[in-house]
Structure 1
Amino acid sequence: MRKFIIFCYLLLPLLSGVSAQTDTSVSPMLATEREALYSLIQAFAGNSFNGSELYPDPCGWTPIQGFSCDLFDGLWYVTVVSIGPIHENSLECTPDARLSQYIFEFKHLKSLSFFNCFHHPITIPSQNWEKLAGSIETLEFRLNPGITGEIPSSLGSLTKLMSLVLIENSLTGELPSSLGNLGGLKQLVLAENRFSGQIPASLGGLRELLILDFSRNSLSGPLPSTFGGLVSLLKLDLSSNLLDGKLPMELGQMRNLTLLDLRNNRFSGGLPPSLQGMVSLEEMLLGNNPIGGNLVGYGWGQLKNLIILDLSNMSLTGKFPESMAQMKRLRFMTLENNQLSGNLSPKLAALPFLNALYLNSNNLTGELEFSEDFYSKMGRRFSVWNNPNLCFPVGSSHVPFGVKQCDEKNSLSSTVLKVEVGRGNSNQGTIMAFDKVSEQYYELQKRPLFWGKGMGFVFLSRLEIWVLICVLVGEEKLHRTVLVVAVIEH
């Protein structure tokens, strides 16, 4: 009997512990908060969803994937709503999902996200956002082709917002200038929509902004000079729009910028010298803009952190700047499809990390002076084809694609021209001067001799049919014979 009493005495604390744990598992939550949550879920998951049965304690022992709660004054409140197939067991939207006004009932909501949820046309509510102004920090609509219409200007009232991401939707219209009121914004991503019109100058006041991405829209007009005020910005992507005009000098004030992507626009007027002040840049992508101008005179060597440089198809002219060989961290550079001239500096081969160099379709000249090791390392990632006056040295074991040997090219320059025009033709005109051709012999069937120097145009009047045999001679060796048959009628 004594042993039994002791046993019961020891068991009491265990039973007491179980009772205490059960009590703490009950999450105190206002009925209005719980009902707003169930109604919100029904709006996108369908009316068949019965939240009170499936999730009787949504902030406690029956949590809902994608939703989080926090305690305020001893009560649970919804703080995170993330809807869509983000996780394996996330609640998914029905085809007729709708955006419920119940989202404005969560007065402690910090994060609201909809991913791949809306496929039938809906619009972002234009009212009641001020109810969330004191709490919400993140607002995201990703991959929702059914979301149409404009960004409501009332989003400018969300003064605590730190991240606004509206990517891959079907939003249209102009960007509201009220977005410039979001002074605490760190991330503003509006990519892959159908926005048009000019970029509001008010956005230049977002001094805490780190990421700005408006790529793949139809925005037009100039880049606001106020963007120089984005002193904290790390990434700026405005690629694939219709932006035009001259790049503002104020861009150089963004000294913390690591990515500048302005590809596929209509910018013109040359590169601003202030670009050399963007010393933190790792990627400068400006290709496919009719910017024009030349690259000489810029302090390319100051961009010591640059890894990727895309200046392709920009109507650039002038010499290839030797200072580009001072960008020690450079890995990838393309300047293809321009009108750059001059020689390539062999110092480019000394860049320790360079593994891709595309310079095809320019007017580069002279002999390539890179080492065999450079050609071996680069392979097809070194591209200089379609530079007619560029050649590689004789005896090189690595032949760049589309480049001729220097001896062949050099045979088409220097010395004198000997021309023989045959007797008995009906020529009564003149043969103009020839230049810039190596020692060659031209025979026009049937005889007398004409001597000319230089290469220009030839006028042979009243000559019905003539045959031109061109023999290229250099260092007493026959290199090539070209047969040209021409018919000229007068």
Structure 2
Amino acid sequence: MKMSVGPPLCFLIMLLLLSLSLFSVSCRGQEQENGSSGAPMERGEQEALYSAIQGFVGKWWNGSDLYPDPCGWTPIQGVECDLYNGSWYVSALNIGPVYENSLRCAPDAELTHHLFELKHLTSLSVYSCFSSTRRNTVRVSISSWGRLSNTLESLEFRSNPGLVGTIPTSIGSLKQLQSLVILENGLTGPLPMELANLISLKRLVLSSNGFVGQIPPAFGGLNSLLILDCSRNNLSGPLPLTFGGLTSLLKLDLSSNGNLDGFLPRELGNLRNLTLLDIGGNKFSGGLIRDIQGMISLKEMVMSNNPTLRGDLTSIEWANLQDLEALELSYTGLTGRIPESMTQLKRLRFLGLSDNSLLGTPPPELASLPYISSLYLNGNNLTGQLDFPGTFYGKMGRRFSAWNNPNLCWRPPLTPWSAVNVPVGVRPCSEGGNASSSRSGSSLLVTEMSEGLDVLHQDSQIEVSLGCRSRGVDGSGWGSRSKEMMALSAWVLLLVVFV
């Protein structure tokens, strides 16, 4: 029996098929126009993106073929987009070998004007791109930054030794900028005063370039600044008094410039939110100012390698700095005694006072600080008897040093079992409580063995601002052989002292 389909039913079936066909064509057309993202990208914006990337990675890169929908179903690593008025625009461009599939620069990479045609760019980062310092140096564009003045919030150039010249003053027109990082490049010249126009800045990092001249006093007007890092340049002159106005500052690093000088301004005491102060490796003078004790949030203070700083430690009420964890004052020309108030720094883990002219006997309470893990007292004029327990020397190992204090001695232990823990490079006390001057027989052996380990301790100095810790030659502190040698030395010493 055959089944027949009437004309009305045939008409309905044909109409349904036609509707489905038209819907399919419509969907394909919309997908081709919008991509899977559901929104178009302005043609000029897309072309500017492709051309800007070509400037970095090379002319061989054909973005329209590789990434026909860079904000949709064919995204580009390092490119981020946002919607504005129903269309996609590039909001962030990150160039450099961050990930395996990141955009990597060609040997002839360049900064092209197409970057400044990205109308809604908020973040630009160029990392390890301009690496050649001879064949292909690149300069930062001078005049085009104003085109991004209403959008750009973050600008970073990191590890680009082939990026040379000066910071263009036009960067000062980026009034929305919150983060400016120019780190480890080949830039030189003075710091432009126009950077002080960036009143929205929260982070200003200008470290490891070749900048010269003084720090502009106008920087003190950047009231929103949280981080200021101008370390490892060739800056000179005094610290601006206006720095006292940076009351929001959390980190101030001006280390390793070599020629920053003058007295420390008392206004630094206004920085009550500061957690890191690093001015090491300069030529400051006038001693430690009492106003430092107003920096009640300090966790790390580094002033080492300022041989003309001088002064003493007693002018500061150290008990006010209860958050202090690291204090590095080595090679600063300090004189006087180590004050008892330092023993109230209950969170202190690192104390560096080496290579100064400190006098007197170290307070024994230093060994009782609950978190102390590094204590360097070597190279001073300390005298008397080290009254630290033997267990302290064992715990600290290479992270304690008191050698090169000719009139300092340590008290021998009462039992041979604790004789392993001795301060290397320090002579045992005689019966009168002074450093033993005997260098005959077994005593000479003990002294020579101690002095022979001084070289190892001299190699164990640390970079406190980086949070590093000293380690033994094998990377793990004292080895078993060193402990055996120390034990042998202690037994010989006991024979000399008690027999």
**Interval containing the TM-score (normalised by the shorter chain):** 0.7 to 0.9
Question: Within 1, Cα distance between the matches of 2:221 and 2:25?
Answer: 57
Gaps of 5+ in 1: 414-477, 480-490
Does the CA-based 8 Å contact 1:169-1:192 persist in structure 2?
Answer: yes
1:222 alignment partner AA: P
Give the number of the structure whose alpha-carbon radius of gyration is greater: 1
| Offset of residue 19 of structure 1 | 3.5
| Offset of residue 107 of structure 1 | 1.6
Residue of structure 1 equivalent to 2:269: 252
Residue of structure 2 equivalent to 1:198: 214
| Offset of residue 410 of structure 1 | 5.0
Does the CA-based 8 Å contact 1:394-1:407 persist in structure 2?
Answer: no
> Equivalent of 1:135, from 151, 161, 179?
151
| Offset of residue 322 of structure 1 | 1.0
Does the CA-based 8 Å contact 1:209-1:232 persist in structure 2?
Answer: yes
Q: 3-state SS of the aligned residue for 1:76?
A: strand
Distance 1:161 1:409, change over 3 A: farther
Residue of structure 2 equivalent to 1:225: 241
Residue of structure 2 equivalent to 1:87: 99
| Offset of residue 409 of structure 1 | 7.1
Residue of structure 2 equivalent to 1:333: 351
Q: 3-state SS of the aligned residue for 1:363?
A: coil
Residue of structure 1 equivalent to 2:425: 402
Between 236-245 and 24-33, the greater mean CA deviation after superposition: 24-33
Gaps of 5+ in 2: 437-495
Question: Within 2, Cα distance between the matches of 1:40 and 1:233?
Answer: 36
1:341 alignment partner AA: L
1:273 alignment partner AA: R
| Offset of residue 245 of structure 1 | 0.7
> Equivalent of 2:295, from 256, 275, 278?
278
| Offset of residue 24 of structure 1 | 6.0
| Offset of residue 411 of structure 1 | 6.8
Does the CA-based 8 Å contact 2:296-2:323 persist in structure 1?
Answer: yes
Residue of structure 2 equivalent to 1:262: 279
Question: Within 2, Cα distance between the matches of 1:356 and 1:384?
Answer: 12
> Equivalent of 1:379, from 381, 393, 397?
397
Does the CA-based 8 Å contact 1:27-1:59 persist in structure 2?
Answer: no
Asked if 1:78 corresponds to 2:90, the answer is: yes
Distance 1:412 1:294, change over 3 A: closer
Does the CA-based 8 Å contact 2:122-2:151 persist in structure 1?
Answer: yes
Question: Within 1, Cα distance between the matches of 2:261 and 2:432?
Answer: 41
| Offset of residue 55 of structure 1 | 1.2
Question: Within 2, Cα distance between the matches of 1:297 and 1:52?
Answer: 68
1:400 alignment partner AA: P
Distance 1:158 1:364, change over 3 A: same
| Offset of residue 379 of structure 1 | 2.1
Residue of structure 1 equivalent to 2:224: 208
2:85 alignment partner AA: D
Asked if 1:115 corresponds to 2:131, the answer is: no
| Offset of residue 395 of structure 1 | 3.3
Residue of structure 2 equivalent to 1:438: none
1:160 alignment partner AA: Q
Runs of 4+ with deviation above 3 angstroms: 8-13, 15-24, 408-413
Residue of structure 2 equivalent to 1:473: none
Q: 3-state SS of the aligned residue for 1:340?
A: strand
- Superposed, which structure 2 residues align to 1:351-430 within 5 Å? 351-395=369-413, 397=419, 398-407=421-430, 410=433
Does the CA-based 8 Å contact 2:279-2:302 persist in structure 1?
Answer: yes
Question: Within 1, Cα distance between the matches of 2:39 and 2:125?
Answer: 24
2:337 alignment partner AA: K
Residue of structure 2 equivalent to 1:61: 73
Asked if 1:153 corresponds to 2:165, the answer is: no
Question: Within 2, Cα distance between the matches of 1:199 and 1:228?
Answer: 14
Between 153-162 and 84-93, the greater mean CA deviation after superposition: 84-93
Does the CA-based 8 Å contact 2:145-2:173 persist in structure 1?
Answer: yes
CA RMSD of aligned residues (A): 2.6
Q: 3-state SS of the aligned residue for 1:147?
A: strand
Does the CA-based 8 Å contact 1:27-1:57 persist in structure 2?
Answer: no
Q: 3-state SS of the aligned residue for 2:382?
A: strand
Q: 3-state SS of the aligned residue for 1:325?
A: helix
Distance 1:373 1:46, change over 3 A: same
How many residues of Structure 1 are paired with residues of Structure 2 in the alignment?
Answer: 413
Question: Within 2, Cα distance between the matches of 1:80 and 1:411?
Answer: 68
Asked if 1:39 corresponds to 2:39, the answer is: no
| Offset of residue 207 of structure 1 | 1.0
> Equivalent of 2:310, from 281, 292, 296?
292
**TM-score for both structures, normalised by structure 2:** 0.78
Q: 3-state SS of the aligned residue for 2:284?
A: strand
Asked if 1:186 corresponds to 2:202, the answer is: yes
Q: 3-state SS of the aligned residue for 2:391?
A: helix
Between 28-37 and 249-258, the greater mean CA deviation after superposition: 28-37
2:271 alignment partner AA: M
| Offset of residue 102 of structure 1 | 0.8
Residue of structure 2 equivalent to 1:319: 337
Does the CA-based 8 Å contact 2:409-2:435 persist in structure 1?
Answer: no
Between 343-352 and 282-291, the greater mean CA deviation after superposition: 343-352
Question: Within 1, Cα distance between the matches of 2:223 and 2:434?
Answer: 61
Deviations 1:381-404 (A, max 9, x none): 221111111111233523211111
**TM-score for both structures, normalised by structure 1:** 0.80
Question: Within 1, Cα distance between the matches of 2:25 and 2:344?
Answer: 71
Deviations 1:233-284 (A, max 9, x none): 1111111002111111111111111111111111111111111111111100
